[in-house]
Amino acid sequence: MTVHALVRRLCGTFAVGVALSGALSACAPIEPWVKPYERENLADPVMAFDRFPVSTAYLDHVFEAREGARGATGNAGGGCGCN
């Protein structure tokens, strides 16, 4: 057996092993990344993206009501101030 044939055989065996392990791992049950008892840690105000979420939401609402060009933040309403 030549070196080239041996390398080819090892690569083929490795590829079959990777495919087989991938197929077998797909049968495992899906578990959530965050357990229900861990969610309280993620809901901590320290984990928030914004330091002052209430005032930021209010200012976004004011800017959206005053300027019709501002948007794409997920809030409904137009530039006229009527929601």
13, part of any domain:
yes
The residue type of 32 is: P
CB 64 within 8 A of CB 77: yes
Range of the domain at 10: 3-27+41-66
Does the pTM surpass 0.85? The reply is no
How far is residue 58's CA from residue 65's CA, in Å, rounded to a whole number? Answer: 11
pLDDT band at 76 (very low <50, low <70, confident <90, very high): low
* Helix/strand/coil percent split, the chain, to 5: 55, 0, 45
For residue range 24-36, list pLDDT tens digits in order. 766 667 777 778 8
Q: What is the DSSP letter of 45?
A: G
61, part of any domain:
yes
33, part of any domain:
no
For residue range 19-72, list pLDDT tens digits in order. 877 777 666 677 777 788 888 777 777 777 888 888 988 888 887 777 666 555
Query: What's the total number of domains in the chain?
Result: 1
